[in-house]
């Protein structure tokens, strides 16, 4: 009887441990192609044309040219319409394309383009773009597209951006547990914070 009781306790412990592991495992994305859901945007913005490699017809625009708040704010920000118009009013070769016509329709109506979030996190999660950009781009001298791409994927190859990473708590924690150089010249490494209050305010 005593052996049976010990065996039962052991089995219950194993089941609880396995369940705990399954809950904490990185959850797969919900789409068959391993990308996040397609978010229909009011204008199909071609990231590949703006940020893509020059050899493939891209203009290699730095992510932070349009997403200017990333280096100094919690959010990366969506560029104001006047930034788009500032370039496109001078580019006659694409002025009559459907995307640009629609862009100018918003401009003439004095309305902001109602972009929809692609990398949306729950309200109880606080992700700070500034902290990550300052560390990886400015302190470590990583290329901007590499630093942004770690969370956002290879956006320069996409038209409308789609989520490529799970952005789950386990996924973020796994990065915080890695050794990251303090700066580009140092051999010293540190981890990201593991205090709950850093990400959950």
Give me the pLDDT at residue 19, please. 54
Q: Is 194 exposed, middle or buried (0-12, 13-18, 19+ CB in 10 A)?
A: exposed
**Cβ neighbours for 127, distance < 8 A, ≥ 6 positions apart:** 74, 121, 199
Task: Give the DSSP letter of residue 158.
Answer: -
Rounded Cα distance, 195 and 94, in Å: 49
pTM to 2 decimals? 0.77
Contact 41, 160 (CB under 8 A): yes
Task: Give the DSSP letter of residue 152.
Answer: H
Rounded Cα distance, 144 and 157, in Å: 15
Which residue's entry shows tokens 């592991």? 21
Domains in the chain: boundaries = 47-78+115-199
User: Which tokens go with 173?
Assistant: 């924690």
User: Which tokens go with 190?
Assistant: 């540190």
Which tens digit of pLDDT belongs to each residue from 79-134? 999 999 999 999 999 999 999 999 999 999 999 999 999 999 999 999 999 999 99
Mean per-residue pLDDT, 61-85 = 95
β-bridge mates for residue 132, sequence order:
none
């Amino acid at each position: 009887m005593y052996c049976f009781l010990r065996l039962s306790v052991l089995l219950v412990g194993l089941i609880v441990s396995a369940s705990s592991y399954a809950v904490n495992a990185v959850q797969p994305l919900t789409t068959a192609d391993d990308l996040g859901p397609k978010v229909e945007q009011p204008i199909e913005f071609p990231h590949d044309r703006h940020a893509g490699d020059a050899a493939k017809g891209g203009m290699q625009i730095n992510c932070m040219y349009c997403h200017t708040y990333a280096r100094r704010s919690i959010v990366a920000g969506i560029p104001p319409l006047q930034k788009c118009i500032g370039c496109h009013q001078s580019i006659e070769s694409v002025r009559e394309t459907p995307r640009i016509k629609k862009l100018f329709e918003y401009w003439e109506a004095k309305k902001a383009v109602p972009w929809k979030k692609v990398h949306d996190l729950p309200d109880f999660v606080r992700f700070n773009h500034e902290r990550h950009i300052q560390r990886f781009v400015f302190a470590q001298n990583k290329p901007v597209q590499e630093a942004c791409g770690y969370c956002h994927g290879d956006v320069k190859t996409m038209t409308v951006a789609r989520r490529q990473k799970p952005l789950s708590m386990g996924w973020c924690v796994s990065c915080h547990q890695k050794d990251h150089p303090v700066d580009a010249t140092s051999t010293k490494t540190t981890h990201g914070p593991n205090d709950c209050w850093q990400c959950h305010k």
